[in-house]
Structure 1
Amino acid sequence: MTQIDRHTAGVYVIAATPFADDGALDLESIDSLVDSYIAAGCDGMTILGVMGEAMKLAADESRAVMRRFLARAPKGFETIVGVSAPGLDNLARLGQEAMEAGAAGVMIAPIPSLATEEQVLNYYAQACAMLGEDVPVCFQDYPQLTGVKVSADTILELTRRHPQIVMLKHEDCPGLNKLTRVREGSGTESTPRLSILCGNGGLHLCQELARGADGAMTGFAFPEMMVDVVRLHAEGKADAAEDLFDAWLPLVRHEVQPGLGLALRKETLRRRGAIKSAKVRAPGPKLTAADLAELDRLISRAEARVPAAGGRLAA
C-alpha cells in the first residue's frame, strides 16, 4: 500500500459521490467514475470531500462509499479519504478504517468552532494523536467553507509538530502569497517539506504551480485538463501550460459558481458516461433548461478549442 508523503505531486481529483435519481447510493457508478479518472491520467483521488457530499451521507453510507472506491482503485492509484467530522472519535474511527481498507492518507479540515489559531493547533494535536502516527494527514485549508482562518505560520507549525501532517490542500482565496509563504517556509533546516496540492476548481492552477504547488486536488469534470497542465509545467513549458489552461478556462470558471457548481460537474460527468445520474442530494440545486443550454455551449466550445491548444479530451 502506497501512502502520500511530503513529496506527493500530480493530480488527485476530488471524486463525486454518485446517487441514483431517487437519491439512493449508486455504488456501480463508483466503478465507472474511478475508471474515468484513471483514463484521464490522474495520479489518485480524494473521496468524501465537499464535492463528495460527505455531510449528506449517513455513517454506514460513508463506509460503503469508501470501501467501494478503495476496492476499485488499482494498486498505485492513491486514494485520500476525507474524514472531517464534528467529533474526534468519529474522525479517528473512520480514518483508521480507511487506512485498514487501503487508503493512502486522510484529509482533515478545521471544524468551524475553532476561533483562534491556538485552538487549531490543539485540535490537530488531538486528531493526530487519536489517528496514530502512521496515518498521513492532508490539512485542508478552506476558510471560505469552514470560516476558520489559518495563517501560513500556523500551517508550518503544524507540520513541525506533527510529522504525519505531510500535505496541504490549499484553498484559501485570495491565497497565492500564502502559498508562497508556505512553500518558502517548508523544506528548510527547521521545517520539513510540505506537499501542496491546490483546489478552488483549478481556477488559479497555473499561478499556483508557478508559486511552488506540487499539483491539483479539485473536482473539475475534465480532469485531463489538470493532468496536462501539471505535466507541461513540470516539463518547464509554463507558457504552453497556460495556453492550454486558457482554452479550458470558460468551463473552469463556470464550474466554480457557488452552489450551482456541483450540479454542473455531476451533469458533465453524467454526459461523459462516468456516472449514470447527475442527482445532487438535497439541499442542492437543480439545473434549469437555461443552465443546460449554457453547459452545452461551453462544452462544445471547449471540444473545439482544446485540441487546437494541444490538449486532449479523455474517452
Structure 2
Amino acid sequence: MSHTHQVLEGVYPILATPFTSSGEVDEASLRELVRFQLAAKVNGIALFGNASEMYTLLDKEREMIASVVMEEINGQVPVVFGSGHTGLEGAVQLSKWAQKAGADALMVLPPYMVKPDGKRMVEYFGAIAKAVDIPIMLQDAPIASGISIPVPVMVNLAKEYENIVYAKVEAPPTTVKITEVIEQSEGRLAVFGGLNGNYYYEELCRGIVGTMPACEFPDVCVKIFQLFRSGERDAARRLFYQYLPFIRIGTIPGYAMAVHKEILKEGGVIESAYVRNPNAPIDETLRREALDTLLDLDPLVLNWKK
C-alpha cells in the first residue's frame, strides 16, 4: 500500500455532539467530552457519526466542532471523520474538507436518501477515494441509513482503490457479515464493529480490529479490548456480558441518542442531555431504566465528577 497512514485499531468512540438546553453546540461540554475519552485511554476518536447527530449539524457548527476537538486532542490519538452525504458531490466536498481539517481517516456512509443501486454506490465511493488520500472506511449501517453495502461491492471497491482499507460492519447479523467481509476481501479490508458494541465480544472472536460505539462507556470498551488482545478471553467475555443490558438500552430506536447523553450528563461529563429533532428526549422512566442497568457496575462516566 503506497499510502503511508496511521493504522487504525482498538476503540474509536463516536463523539456525541453536546448541546446547551436551548439547542446550541456546547463548546465547554464538547471539550470535557474529549478529555473524558482521552482519560479512558481510547485508541482514537470518531466525529460526525450517527451518534454525533451529524445529520442535524449546520456547516459552521461542523467546522467549529472539528477545530475544538482537534485542538483538545492535539495529536494524541488519530481522528476519523464521518463524511457520508445524500449525494456524491456533497460527500466529495465533505471528504476534502475533512482531510483539510486534519482527519486521519474517513468513515463514509452510502447515499442515504435515494437508495443507490450497485453502480451508483461504486461511483460514489470511487469519487471520494479519488478526491482524498487518507484511508476510507466503508460504513455499512443499514439500521441507521436504510442502505446495506453488499459484500461483493465492498470487496471490489477495496481491490480498485488502495485507500479503501476499512469497513465498519453494522448490518445485523453483524457477526456473519464480518466473517464474509474478512474472508472475501482476503485481508484487504480491516473490519470495525459498530451498532454500539451489541455484539462486541463475538465480533472480536471473528477478527474485528476495533469497535466504534457511542461514547459514554469508552473505558469499558477499552478494557474488553485489552483483555481480549492479551489472551484473557474469559475475562473479556464476562465484562462484556455484565455491560450488555446497558449497551442494549443504548440502541433503543428514536431514543438512543438521549440515552447516551443522559448517562454522560448524570456523570457530569456534559451539561445538558438535549437532543435535536428528529431525536426524542427520554422521560424519567426510561432514564431510570437506563441508569438501573449500571447499578452494580462502576464505569468511569459515573465517577467522572465525584
User: Structure 2-normalised TM-score?
Assistant: 0.92
Residues 29-50 of structure 1: CA distance to partner in whole angstroms, max 9, x if unpaired? 1110000001111111111111
Q: In 2, distance between residues paired with 1:314 and 1:11?
A: 20
SS in 2 for 1:302: coil
Q: Compute the displacement of 1:312 (Å).
A: 10
Q: 1:207 aligns with which of 202, 211, 220?
A: 202
Identity across the alignment (%): 29
1:13-41 deviation per Cα after TM superposition (whole angstroms, max 9, x unaligned): 01000100000111121110000001111
Whether the 8 Å contact between 1:13 and 1:219 is mirrored in structure 2 is yes
Q: 1:235-265: CA deviations, max 9, x gaps?
A: 1111110001111111111111111111010
Aligned to 1:226: 221
Taking a change above 3 Å as real, the CA distance of residues 109 and 161 of structure 1, as seen in their structure-2 partners, is same
- Whole-Å separation in 2 of the counterparts to 1:4 and 1:225: 27
Inter-partner Cα distance in structure 1 for 2:65 and 2:192? 23
> For residue 152 of structure 1, what is the aligned residue in structure 2?
151
SS for the counterpart of 1:34 is: helix
2:171 aligned residue: 172
Question: Conserved in 2, the CA contact under 8 Å of 1:251 and 1:302?
Answer: no
Distance 1:4 1:207 in 2: 28
CA–CA distance in structure 1, aligned partners of residues 33 and 99 of structure 2: 21
- Deviation of residue 300 (structure 1)? 1.9
Unmatched runs of 5 consecutive residues or more in structure 1: none
Q: Residue 109 of structure 1 corresponds to which residue in structure 2?
A: 109
- Rounded Cα–Cα distance in structure 2 between residues aligned with 1:312 and 1:68: 21
Deviates more, 1:104-113 or 1:292-301: 292-301
Deviations 1:274-293 (A, max 9, x none): 21111101222122121222
Compute the RMSD of aligned alpha carbons.
2.1
Give the letter for the 1:158 counterpart.
L
- Is 1:291 matched with 2:290? no
Distance 1:181 1:298 in 2: 33
- Tell me how far 1:119 sits from its aligned partner: 2.3
2:125 counterpart residue number: 124
**Pairing of 1:249-268 with structure 2 (within 5 A):** 249-268=244-263
2:152 partner SS:
helix
Q: How big is the shift at 1:314?
A: 6.6
The count of aligned residue pairs is 301
1:274 to 262, 269, 278: 269
What is the alpha-carbon distance in structure 1 between the residues aligned to residue 288 and residue 222 of structure 2?
27
What SS does the aligned partner of 2:61 have?
A: helix
Structure 1 residue 35 and structure 2 residue 27: aligned? no
Call closer, same or farther: CA 1:283–1:150 in 2, change over 3 Å: closer
For the residue of structure 2 that corresponds to 1:269, the secondary structure is: helix
Are the aligned partners of 1:255 and 1:265 in contact in 2 as well (CA < 8 Å)? yes
TM-score relative to the length of structure 1: 0.89
The equivalent residue for 1:247 is: 242
- Counterpart residue type for residue 128 of structure 1: A
Deviations 1:88-128 (A, max 9, x none): 33323332222222211111110132442232112211222
Distance (whole Å) between structure 2 residues aligned to residue 100 and residue 235 of structure 1? 36
One-letter identity of the residue aligned with 1:8 = L
Q: Contact conserved, 1:139 with 1:169, CA < 8 A, in 2?
A: yes
CA distance in 2, matches of 1:95, 1:79: 13
- 2: CA distance between counterparts of 1:218 and 1:72? 20
Residues 222 and 313 in structure 1, CA contact (< 8 A), matched pair in contact too: no
> Aligned partner of 2:286: which letter?
D
The change in CA–CA distance for 1:313 and 1:160 in structure 2 (over 3 A counts) is farther
Give 3-state SS (helix, strand or coil) of 2:51's partner: coil
Deviates more, 1:197-206 or 1:99-108: 99-108
Gaps of 5+ in 2: none
CA deviation vs aligned residue, 1:204-246 (integer Å, no higher than 9, x gap) = 0010010110111110521111111111111111111000111
Assess, with a 3 A threshold, how the Cα gap between structure 1 residues 44 and 86 changes in structure 2: closer, same or farther.
Answer: same
Instruction: Say if 1:220 and 1:252, in contact at 8 Å, map to a contact too.
Output: no
Deviation at 1:86, TM superposition (A): 2.1
Q: Give the aligned residue type for 2:171.
A: D
CA offsets 1:116-158 (integer angstroms, 9 cap, x no match): 22321122112222x23x1221110011222222222221111
Q: Is the 8 A contact 2:81 2:103 kept in 1?
A: yes
1:196 to 187, 191, 215: 191
